[in-house]
Structure 1
Amino acid sequence: MFRFSKISVRCYAKDLKFGSEARKAMLTGVDMLTDAVAVTMGPKGRNVVIEQSWGSPKITKDGVTVAKAIDFKDKFQNMGAKLVQDVANKTNEEAGDGTTCATVLARAIAKEGFENISKGANPVEVRKGLMKAVDQLVNELKAMSKTVTTPEEIAQVATIAANGDKTIGKLISDAMKKVGNKGVITVKDGKTLQDELELIEGMKFDRGYISPYFINSAKGAKVEFEKCYILFSEKKISQIQDIVPALELANKYRRPVLILAEDVDGEALTTLVLNRLKVGLQVCAVKAPGFGDNRKNTLRDMAVSTGGVVFGEESALLKLEDIQIQDFGEAEEVTVTKDDTLILRGKGTPEEIEKRIALIQDELEASTSDYEKEKLNERLAKLSTGVAQLKIGGASEVEVNEKKDRVTDALCATRAAVEEGIVPGGGVALLRALKKLDKLKPDNEDQKSGIKIVQKAIRQPISTIIANAGLEPSAIVEKVLASSDINYGYDAMNDVYVNMIEAGIIDPTKVIRTALQDAAGVASLMATTECVVTEIPKEEPAMPGGGGMGGMGGGMGNLKFSKNQVIFFLLSKVAIRCSFTIDCRVGSHQQKPFIHNCRDGSSAKLQDQQFS
């Protein structure tokens, strides 16, 4: 006998639009979103202030941040806006910068595409011609690209991406010089007004000592060890018998010992503290960083780095009470503060460290999660070159957040430049590739229309930069096109014509390529749209009005507070916790005197209280 469960599905009515009406509604949303994003483009681009559901408004000049913040009430307009948001998001994920350029290109391609299709062009053939043109432009950009090698060129790329901030450019250049082009560089809030670069060599993690009784330094509240043994445990250490063998070995060899475990408490912690205070044994216990599998992997990384083993691993079958001297990890220096731990110059063998690095790199290639990739990169850096931290300072949280957006963009742009090289900036590279499209041979007139769409669209980035500088774009664009020098362009910041490469006005090839490909892919699909379907939200019935309180005719009914409610009140400047029963029904208040003996021996009396 079979049983069938009922499945209820909520269905909403649909609203449909076709043809030019659908495309026009979507284009309205695209236009409004792009207008908001485009004002941030170029050295004289403006900021956008975004209301947030909590805290103060966000001020930003980051295109993708502006795009993500925009929603429209009209569902057809919102659908067009969301498609362009996808362009910005995809470009940001792939290249880390160029989102404003991608948004401007997407609007231009979609707009020209809509016009051509409205005049009767075949949408499929138009898209084919459009993608042919994009492929030709990508090849030309790669041919134009120049390799980035020197710190000065890296600083130039970062400066341009950070909206002309030379301090940020130098900061990123210095960071890459110290940890390498593929090293891990993190961006964090600073604690001063100035931007700072901190290089963390070795293993550093955000866990401090479990007890302040471990402090052994006169220079501050910290623990400092030299030539230190390190004990790693995946499990919690609570029993005294688990810890005594390790302490005996450390005492025998007159070496300090750092214990890294899931937790240390109970008898084990008491034993450690007593040995520290009474015997003078140099010991410190720290909780292992992270949670779950991430904690286990981090412990294994540290064990490999210091030449130790991890107790508690199911595969190793090691018990703490059986510890031998070779099971300890070793490090030249260990510093533990209230908040973090730093392990320097571990004694792990280079061969084992290389194997561990290769394993993490394989995991990194296989991972699809951004969070996992971030954690794997951090682990990789700690095992190899260390981590460079950019601490961004400012006078207020709003200022720091705005600067962090620019630093993150600059960092991503710099990595992209190192990866694929650079081209002249300021929209000039796309303009220079324009002439190559004249040589393309389309199969039919509709494909030719697609090529012309791209020819018009790639003028938009430089035109937007010039317009944001308060000038008329057409004359300047034509003057740049008239020059035979591939690097000749317009410096919008200083209002002069210059050699863009020599002036340091450059763009990463990867950023421009990605922006062009992503914009063309989505915008060409939008242009071929014939029908748009949205949901009509179901109208919910209004909630019935509530009744009055007390004698106002219902609503509260038979209101009763639960028994043993805990309240706090102040009596003779002493906070007292009291427990009492209230029976509070509408129209009949029952009050009983209540006497509670307080902690200080006095009494508190509650009576004649009125509840309404």
Structure 2
Amino acid sequence: GPKGRTVIIEQSWGSPKVTKDGVTVAKSIDLKDKYQNIGAKLVQDVANNTNEEAGDGTTTATVLARAIAKEGFDTISKGANPVEIRRGVMMAVETVINELKSLSKPVTTPEEIAQVATISANGDVEIGNIISNAMKKVGRKGVITVKDGKTMHDELEIIEGMKFDRGYISPYFINTAKGQKCEFQDAYLLLSEKKISTVQSIVPALEIANQQRKPLVIVAEDVDGEALSTLVLNRLKVGLQVVAVKAPGFGDNRKNQLRDMAIATGGTVFGDEAVGLALEDIQAHDFGKIGEVQITKDDTLLLKGGGNPAELEKRAAEIIEMLENTTSDY
């Protein structure tokens, strides 16, 4: 809570955890007395549910749960009907919620967002400001993810394209001396749901890219065998501007990500039964267009895609509708 004190929690592995987050403290409580432990588990459920629903306010929920339980038991011990007490509590909850809604005000300015975020971050002003800046950059409907960093500093990274956790298949595709990266400007993107193994399947794509003097980025389920050897040899011997990357995700998730890439860049996904196109029959208009590509051993960043704005809007609306209707956390 706002006046909460820091707690050090012993962990079965690693260093002790230092926190003042209510739900984290509640989760770590395990009492020897089994009756007391049942009560503690019920309060843990209260904190967990509040955390999942609102993302904050777990300490307040715990304090309220204790107060309701204490007053409830006192009243029952004086002969009151437990069913009536529950009904009264639910009526009070409804009244309190309506009153809180009437007192609340929408958070609109970056300063207000920073204040709310700072409280949620246990009073860490720096984290609050980073969250406020992130929301200012990407908007209310933008995607914000939090990851553990590898440095001692908190960092905000804005990605204005598509980024996924797959890097180049072979280090022979690296074309920059600094940073072990493969970088291209104004490139073609070839998307395939299936594995590419034969030379015959990629030669037409390579010929078109070569004629148009465009670098070629291949994103497929996998690229191996003769196909990979041919790409690497051409890259080393002829200086062919090409790179192969494994498609991200699995199953339907991979299909959707490839479809998103196709829409963002104006390309076609090969190997998709609905499209029914063979790689050997590829035409220049089947490639996606990318203004800038950066590929490391771990991830790929596609910037300035040449997709149709109307198609992008349509796909964004589809995703928003799916998010509103989904019952899954994934």
When normalised by structure 2's length, the TM-score is 0.96
Q: Where does 1:162-241 land on structure 2 (aligned, <5 Å)?
A: 162-241=121-200
Corresponding residue for residue 92 of structure 1: 51
Is 1:42–2:2 an aligned residue pair? Answer: yes
Return the offset for 1:76: 2.2
Question: 1:218 Cα deviation (Å)?
Answer: 3.5
1:309 positional shift:
0.8
Query: Residues of 1 paired with 2:322 and 2:107: CA distance?
Result: 29
For 1:343-422, list aligned pairs within 5 A.
343-370=302-329, 372=330
Secondary structure at 1:220 match in 2: coil
Q: Distance in 1 between matches of 2:93 and 2:245?
A: 56
- Residue 75 of structure 1: how far off its partner (Å): 2.9
Q: Deviations over 1:487-532 (max 9, x none)?
A: xxxxxxxxxxxxxxxxxxxxxxxxxxxxxxxxxxxxxxxxxxxxxx
| Cross-structure match for 1:281 | 240
SS for the counterpart of 1:186 is: coil
- CA shift digits 1:521-570 (9 cap, x unpaired): xxxxxxxxxxxxxxxxxxxxxxxxxxxxxxxxxxxxxxxxxxxxxxxxxx
Summarize the alignment of residues 139-158 of structure 1 with structure 2, pairs less than 5 Å apart: 139-158=98-117
Find the partner of 1:121 among 80, 97, 103: 80
1:53 aligns with 2:8: no
Deviation, 1:296, is 1.5
Measure the CA separation in 1 of the matches of 2:300 and 2:141: 25
1:555-591 Cα deviation digits (max 9, x unpaired): xxxxxxxxxxxxxxxxxxxxxxxxxxxxxxxxxxxxx
Post-superposition Cα deviations, 1:172-211, rounded to whole Å, max 9, x if no partner, equal: 1111100112321111222322211110110011211111
- In 1, Cα distance between the equivalents of 2:114 and 2:147? 20
Counterpart code for 1:132: M
Aligned AA (1:118) = S
Q: Percent identity?
A: 74
Counterpart pick for 2:61 among 77, 87, 102: 102
In structure 1, C-alpha distance between the alignment counterparts of 2:54 and 2:19, rounded to whole Å: 19
How many Å separate the matches in 1 of 2:40 and 2:49? 14
How many corresponding residue pairs?
Answer: 330
Alignment of 1:528-567 (within 5 A): none
* Runs (5+) with no aligned partner, structure 1: 1-40, 373-612
Encode CA deviations 1:245-298: one digit per residue, 9 max, x unaligned.
100111111111000011111100011011112222110001111122211111
**Contact preservation (8 Å) 2:195, 2:222:** yes
The equivalent residue for 2:221 is 262
Matched residue, 1:134 = 93
Tell me which residue corresponds to 1:331: 290
In 2, the alpha carbon distance for the partners of 1:163 and 1:286 equals 41
CA radius of gyration, larger in: 1
Higher relative contact order (CA 8 A, sep 6+): 1
Q: Matched residues in 2 for 1:194 and 1:240: separation? A: 47
1:422 aligns with none
Q: Structure 1 counterpart of 2:40, which letter? A: A
Q: Give structure 2 stretches of 5+ with no counterpart.
A: none
Shift, 1:56, TM fit: 2.2
Q: Does 1:69 align with 2:28?
A: yes
Distance across 1 between alignment mates of 2:33 and 2:274: 59
Residue-by-residue CA offset, 1:352-392 (whole Å, 9 max, x unaligned): 1122122222322232222x1xxxxxxxxxxxxxxxxxxxx
* Superimposed CA distance per residue, residues 424-467 of structure 1 (whole angstroms, 9 cap, x where no aligned partner): xxxxxxxxxxxxxxxxxxxxxxxxxxxxxxxxxxxxxxxxxxxx
> CA separation in 2, counterparts of 1:187 and 1:289?
19
Q: Of residues 251, 263, 274 in structure 2, which corresponds to 1:292? A: 251
Report if the CA contact (8 A) 2:21-2:122 is conserved. Answer: no
How far apart are the structure 1 equivalents of 2:287 and 2:153? 41
The CA distance in 2 between the partners of 1:282 and 1:325, in whole Å, is 17
CA distance in 1 between partners of 2:12 and 2:120 (Å):
29
Q: State the distance in 2 between where 1:263 and 1:128 align.
A: 60
